[in-house]
C-alpha cells in the first residue's frame, strides 16, 4: 500500500514538474524578443537549466518504469511460487478492508 502511494505521489510530482517546465519554456519563448546582454545571459542559463531538468526527468521516469516492471516481475514470481500464501494474504487484506469500510 505504501509503495502504491509513493508511485502516485511520484506520478503527481512528475506531472507538476512537467507543467512547471512547460511554463518556463513558454516564458522564455515569450521574452525571446527582449534585448539586452543581461537578459540574453539569463535566458541562456535558463534554457540550459531547462534542458538539464528535462533530461533528468526523462531519466527518472525511465528508472521509475524499470522499478515498477521489476516489482511486477517479483510479485508474479512470488505468487506463482507461493499461490496459497498469496491467496491467504489477499483474503486477509480483503477482510481487513471490508471490516474498515463497513465501520463507516
Q: Which residues of 28-63 are buried (b: 16+ CB within 10 A; e: fewer)?
A: eeeeeeeeeeeeeeebeeeeeebeeeeeeeeeeeee
Q: Percentage of the chain with pLDDT > 70?
A: 88
Question: Residue 49's domain spans which residues?
Answer: 2-102
The three-state secondary structure class of 52 is helix
- In sequence order, which residues have a C-beta less than 8 Å from that of residue 71 and are 6 or more positions away? 3
Whether the predicted pLDDT of 56 surpasses 70: yes
Of 85 and 31, the structure prediction assigns the larger pLDDT to 85
Q: Please tell me the pTM assigned to this model.
A: 0.51
* pLDDT tens digits along 82-104: 999 989 999 999 999 999 999 87
Cα separation, 50 vs 22, whole angstroms = 9
Number of domains composing the chain: 1
Q: What is the largest CA-CA distance in the chain?
A: 71
Q: Which range in 5-14, 21-30, 81-90 is most confidently predicted, on average pLDDT? A: 81-90
Amino acid at each position: 500500500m505504501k509503495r502504491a502511494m509513493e508511485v502516485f505521489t511520484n506520478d503527481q510530482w512528475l506531472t507538476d514538474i512537467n507543467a512547471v517546465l512547460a511554463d518556463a519554456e513558454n516564458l522564455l519563448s515569450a521574452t525571446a524578443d527582449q534585448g539586452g546582454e543581461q537578459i540574453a545571459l539569463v535566458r541562456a542559463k535558463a534554457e540550459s537549466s531547462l534542458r538539464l531538468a528535462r533530461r533528468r526527468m526523462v531519466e527518472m521516469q525511465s528508472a521509475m518504469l524499470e522499478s515498477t516492471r521489476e516489482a511486477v516481475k517479483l510479485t508474479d514470481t512470488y505468487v506463482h511460487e507461493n499461490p496459497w500464501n498469496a491467496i491467504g494474504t489477499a483474503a486477509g487484506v480483503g477482510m481487513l478492508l471490508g471490516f474498515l469500510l463497513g465501520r463507516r
